[in-house]
Chains A and B, each alone.
Chain A
């Protein structure tokens, strides 16, 4: 009975517990609610993933209004994987949040943090689960609005400008998206994704649909921070509270990438997009530019959160590069990197959260000798860093291997070379931190620093451990990613 309603519960439970947090007001109580909801959502997402892997896509009409008139929730393998990523990150980050929020956010506003976190979770899960393009817009706005608030809670006053800039850009992006949706509705009269997929081929050659595609692409590129529309991201990640950065870096852009995949491979799945429009070259050039520019800028950053933010831009480049191959291997590479990057980036940002708790700074000079003073935290950082580089036995290697194979499969040697070359840039910025933390003595007269508390270390290490575990045993994740890619590509001729 309950099992049939899992898709609804996935979204509704976080949604109704958000106002609950608002009413509870006490930070401890709000935290408990958020924690319980996060773990519940993870359990739901996992059971959905299992259900989908065995029985194929699940469709759930909201309020029993049949699609395409009513809103349909539709879970397939990609969607279920993204649900698991988002909820798993939430479930792991929440225990961490207790101490970190208490340290970085005033206690009379902490309940607002949990409220907003739950709303953001609702939005992100909604995007991944809905089968309706307009409903997707609604969830996009829910997650965006709540993340503006979350970012503005940062200690630094610059967090306000960062959140404001993000708000402007995010709104532009969402507006572009909804303009695209409107144009499609004008031509087809439907908002249901599956329905759109069957009706679009008939009108695919019209200027309106091409225009819609352009708007959708630019709008979503903004949300996923594809170069050169990434400029809102560094400040937002840098000045947001540590927990928020860790959560958003691992989920928000990933979900936007998911929406991108949805639009390209499901909504426009029956249209041979890569024939009617020069998608491949544009996306590929922007992805490659993002990979190099992001990494190059990261090398010269002294604020480590900012450095990782730029590294995220580079990593998003890898994902989009995978999609732009429009082949099963490439798409699977993009999807697997989506999962893998969520693991490693959250490990890295959580480690920085521990550093902020103890040192109050993430400036690279402040980390001198930290390898000895906070050995577990820095070791987790190194694991995440190795994964960013793509060292074998880490998840990064799996992603890069797949992307390189996808490039070689098409005979695009130079692209394969560029993928490898850009990972060498990651060596440089990761090594800078390693050298400072392990090979430089602690500054004279600095206060003693103890290791972060277990509630923060454990989540950090769960993520770091996962980025090793799924680097060694990638069978399960690859199966899902490959299955998802095959499912998505099959529609396209």
Chain B
């Protein structure tokens, strides 16, 4: 391996993260905070183009290759690693902090990878690190969730690897450039990417695993895996039409299930699927405006979703409760958490003067510019839906609503600081989007704060807010909110979405039953043949061995002389 100039920024976080468990007390805290800052500095120093390459087999690995898009993602991943570490400083399980650092490093490695093999390696290590994050909560449930996560991502990894091998055999190069699906290789790569993005039909891994991590682990998880997938889609498959439909499906899927959900962090996990849906749609539209929008939305989404999960994590940390129906009225004793939660909620709802507004509106604008009427309508409806489930439902049921009688104080200083930092970023980017726009891959000629934009958005938000509060008395009658919104879902949602969802899930269930049956039969057969008593595992009898020798010799002779 021949190294050239720079030290790969990703390795700072990966190696540093692995060394974290060796440190104790303050040294560990300082290291955990310093590593992301150092990484950010290194990323900032990277010149455009390949700055580190190595020979591997007969290919050239481009270990570090920077351009505007990669740098944008690398920077937000580093920012996230910093805030995540700050939030997790008082987490006693050091494995989680280490794995969080490693997964951030891998995400940065992906953002700076110039070839498919480097990408794949970081991709797989990130999956392992994520598993460790889930698992390190240490409960039986989190162990099982991490194993389910492992299975899905193993499948994704196999698809991706198979795709890469086929693609290399087709094109003879390992370079990671824009592709159009058409050959088996590109389809497999796309499938591997989409599994990590949380796309159908396997979206369920995300809301299944994320809420089972610890209060701080979910914050790490929310940022890296799905957004790294958004990045690779942006780079590898811009303007691939099928992504529009995949994205819209994810968007609606996330909303419907988030509205049905009672666990506050699972609501936010479904909302990740929904938000990634916006980005995937933008990638599918594929114009410069839409791609800029998807990239910017990934940037802002990482910040506000982490902020929301931090506030939910703080609530979990202070109360030990995670169900909306057990919480409520916490604003009285947790003012800072409440305030930060509201800032996050407003941002995810794209409220003007918050970061969500300046990024999501670019995707809608991209759809409008291309005269994509139905996607545009669905994006607007999706925005309203986001406001319903994440913008109002989460803060309302957790911090206001009825008084649950809980009076926990605000969380410890480091957690408060992390939340305040991200709240400031949310508002700051909302007011001054120019620094973010300057980082985007294409030149931005877009003014978010035009009168029609702002009025449109406010109307949308006001009416969906109104809808929520009109239905509120209905919800407040019982504590099991699922049932109430279930009603809403069955009447309204099912017509547009539920039918498709039921059909898909029935098909999948049938498929799963069949697969289970055949796999069971296969295992039983293998065990009969290859198990300890099986014919294939027998050893010992010299006679049978010699028989085989004779048989084989006979076969050879027969075949030679025929």
Chain A interface residues (CB < 8 Å from chain B) = 161, 165, 168-169, 172, 176, 207, 210-211, 213-215, 217-218, 221-222, 228-229, 231-232, 234-235, 277-278, 282, 293, 296-297, 299-302, 310, 391-393, 398, 401-402, 404-405, 408-409, 416, 420, 424, 427, 439, 472-475, 478
The answer on a CB contact under 8 Å between A161 and B529 is: no
Q: Which B40-79 residues have a C-beta within 8 angstroms of A?
A: 55-58
The answer on a CB contact under 8 Å between A277 and B158 is: no
| Contact digits for B501-544, partner A, Cβ 8 Å, 1 yes 0 no | 00000000000000000000000001101111010111110101
Given contact pairs A297-B534, A392-B117, A218 touches B124 in the complex (Cβ within 8 A): no
* Minimum distance in angstroms from A386 CB to a CB of chain B: 10
The answer on a CB contact under 8 Å between A475 and B158 is: no
The answer on a CB contact under 8 Å between B548 and A228 is: yes
Q: CA of A132 to CA of B352 in the docked complex: distance in angstroms?
A: 85
Q: CA of A215 to CA of B553 in the docked complex: distance in angstroms?
A: 7
Q: Which chain B residues border A214 with CB–CB below 8 Å?
A: 553, 556-557, 560
Q: Is B120 an interface residue (CB 8 A)?
A: yes
Q: Which of A217, A302, A392, A398 contacts B121 (CB 8 A)?
A: A392
The answer on a CB contact under 8 Å between B169 and A405 is: yes
Q: Which chain B residues border A310 with CB–CB below 8 Å?
A: 537
The answer on a CB contact under 8 Å between B531 and A300 is: yes
Q: Is B162 an interface residue (CB 8 A)?
A: yes
A-B contact count (CB 8 A): 117
Q: Is B165 an interface residue (CB 8 A)?
A: yes
Q: Is B193 an interface residue (CB 8 A)?
A: no
The answer on a CB contact under 8 Å between A392 and B552 is: no
* Chain B interface, DSSP helix/strand/loop, else mixed: helix
* Minimum distance in angstroms from B119 CB to a CB of chain A: 11
Q: CA of A475 to CA of B527 in the docked complex: distance in angstroms?
A: 41
Most chain B CB inside 10 Å of its own CB: which residue of A300, A391, A473 = A300
Q: Which chain A residues border B143 with CB–CB below 8 Å?
A: 439
The answer on a CB contact under 8 Å between B530 and A231 is: no
Query: What would be 20 A-B contacts, judged by CB atoms less than 8 Å apart?
Result: A165-B539, A169-B542, A210-B560, A218-B556, A228-B552, A229-B549, A231-B544, A231-B548, A232-B539, A234-B539, A235-B540, A277-B560, A278-B559, A282-B559, A296-B536, A301-B537, A392-B120, A392-B124, A401-B165, A478-B58
The answer on a CB contact under 8 Å between A231 and B165 is: no
Q: Is B425 an interface residue (CB 8 A)?
A: no
* Minimum distance in angstroms from B277 CB to a CB of chain A: 30
The answer on a CB contact under 8 Å between B1 and A391 is: no
The answer on a CB contact under 8 Å between B165 and A408 is: yes
The answer on a CB contact under 8 Å between B158 and A165 is: no
Q: CA of A300 to CA of B560 in the docked complex: distance in angstroms?
A: 37
Given contact pairs A297-B537, A300-B532, A229 touches B552 in the complex (Cβ within 8 A): yes
The answer on a CB contact under 8 Å between B532 and A416 is: no
Q: Is B546 an interface residue (CB 8 A)?
A: yes
Q: Which chain A residues border B56 with CB–CB below 8 Å?
A: 472, 474
The answer on a CB contact under 8 Å between A165 and B540 is: yes
Q: Is B154 an interface residue (CB 8 A)?
A: yes
The answer on a CB contact under 8 Å between A300 and B1 is: no
Q: Which of A165, A221, A404 contacts B165 (CB 8 A)?
A: A404
* Minimum distance in angstroms from B109 CB to a CB of chain A: 12
The answer on a CB contact under 8 Å between A207 and B561 is: yes
Given contacts A165-B539, A214-B556, A408-B169, 14 further A-B pairs with CB under 8 A are A165-B545, A168-B546, A172-B549, A210-B561, A296-B529, A300-B537, A302-B532, A392-B120, A401-B165, A408-B166, A409-B169, A420-B158, A473-B1, A478-B57
Q: CA of A277 to CA of B562 in the docked complex: distance in angstroms?
A: 9
The answer on a CB contact under 8 Å between A232 and B545 is: yes
Closest to A172 in B: B549
Q: CA of A172 to CA of B544 in the docked complex: distance in angstroms?
A: 13
Q: Which chain A residues border B534 with CB–CB below 8 Å?
A: 297, 300
The answer on a CB contact under 8 Å between B556 and A282 is: yes
| Contact digits for B441-480, partner A, Cβ 8 Å, 1 yes 0 no | 0000000000000000000000000000000000000000
Given contact pairs A391-B124, A398-B57, A408-B169, A475 touches B1 in the complex (Cβ within 8 A): yes
Q: Which B80-132 residues have a C-beta within 8 angstroms of A?
A: 117, 120-121, 124
The answer on a CB contact under 8 Å between A424 and B555 is: no
Given contact pairs A218-B552, A218-B556, A420-B162, A165 touches B542 in the complex (Cβ within 8 A): yes
Q: Which chain A residues border B553 with CB–CB below 8 Å?
A: 176, 214-215, 218
* Minimum distance in angstroms from A411 CB to a CB of chain B: 10
The answer on a CB contact under 8 Å between B539 and A299 is: no
Q: Which chain A residues border B531 with CB–CB below 8 Å?
A: 300
Closest to A310 in B: B537
Q: CA of A189 to CA of B499 in the docked complex: distance in angstroms?
A: 82
* Minimum distance in angstroms from B560 CB to a CB of chain A: 4
Closest to B117 in A: A392
Q: Which of A222, A277, A416 contacts B549 (CB 8 A)?
A: A222
* Minimum distance in angstroms from A478 CB to a CB of chain B: 6
Q: CA of A58 to CA of B556 in the docked complex: distance in angstroms?
A: 35
Q: CA of A297 to CA of B536 in the docked complex: distance in angstroms?
A: 7
Q: CA of A360 to CA of B540 in the docked complex: distance in angstroms?
A: 24
* Minimum distance in angstroms from A124 CB to a CB of chain B: 23
The answer on a CB contact under 8 Å between B527 and A168 is: no
Q: Which chain B residues border A439 with CB–CB below 8 Å?
A: 143
Closest to A228 in B: B548
Q: Which chain B residues border A217 with CB–CB below 8 Å?
A: 556
Q: Which of B120, B162, B166, B560 contacts A213 (CB 8 A)?
A: B560
Q: Which chain A residues border B526 with CB–CB below 8 Å?
A: 296, 299
Q: CA of A293 to CA of B57 in the docked complex: distance in angstroms?
A: 30
* Minimum distance in angstroms from A472 CB to a CB of chain B: 6
Q: Which chain B residues border A172 with CB–CB below 8 Å?
A: 546, 549
Q: CA of A218 to CA of B165 in the docked complex: distance in angstroms?
A: 34
* Minimum distance in angstroms from A144 CB to a CB of chain B: 15
Closest to B55 in A: A475
* Minimum distance in angstroms from B123 CB to a CB of chain A: 10
Q: CA of A277 to CA of B560 in the docked complex: distance in angstroms?
A: 5
Closest to A302 in B: B532
Q: Which of A282, A293, A416, A424 contacts B530 (CB 8 A)?
A: A293
Q: Which of A168, A222, A277, A302 contacts B559 (CB 8 A)?
A: A277
Q: CA of A296 to CA of B522 in the docked complex: distance in angstroms?
A: 11
Given contact pairs A218-B553, A296-B526, A473-B1, A401 touches B539 in the complex (Cβ within 8 A): no
Q: CA of A122 to CA of B540 in the docked complex: distance in angstroms?
A: 29
Q: Which chain B residues border A302 with CB–CB below 8 Å?
A: 532
The answer on a CB contact under 8 Å between A229 and B169 is: no
The answer on a CB contact under 8 Å between A300 and B527 is: yes
Q: Which chain B residues border A277 with CB–CB below 8 Å?
A: 559-560
Q: Which chain B residues border A215 with CB–CB below 8 Å?
A: 553
The answer on a CB contact under 8 Å between B549 and A218 is: yes
Q: CA of A210 to CA of B560 in the docked complex: distance in angstroms?
A: 7
